[in-house]
Amino acid sequence: MGKIDEVKELLNTLRVAMSIAFGILIILIGSIIKRYDAGKVDILFWFGTIFTLAIMGVIILIIFKITKKTKEIKDL
């Protein structure tokens, strides 16, 4: 397998991971809003909020990796 094929495969994997992370983020935010509307601001609400911030951080890292790998393809 050539170097460009390896980079493309990794790029596709990163895109799938980002799609899954966005899906988890949407579901999690919906659940947090539902708990807030129901007046259930408890430890589970705050855990979900912290986890949402962590997921957003992971998405940002994935975006940076995708950008790096895209530039690497351009150089090949």
Report whether 76 contacts 7 (CB < 8 A): yes
Rounded CA separation 44/40 (Å):
9
Q: Tokens in use for 33?
A: 């809003």
pLDDT classification of 1: cutoffs 50, 70, 90: low
- Count structural domains, the chain: 1
pTM: 0.86
At 33, which helix (H) or strand (E)?
helix 3-37
Q: Tokens in use for 70?
A: 């895209």
Query: Which of 55, 59, 31, 64 has its CA nearest to residue 45?
Result: 31
Q: Tokens in use for 28?
A: 């999690």
Q: What is the pLDDT of residues 16-39, one digit of tens each?
A: 999 999 999 999 999 999 999 999
Domain limits for position 70: 3-75
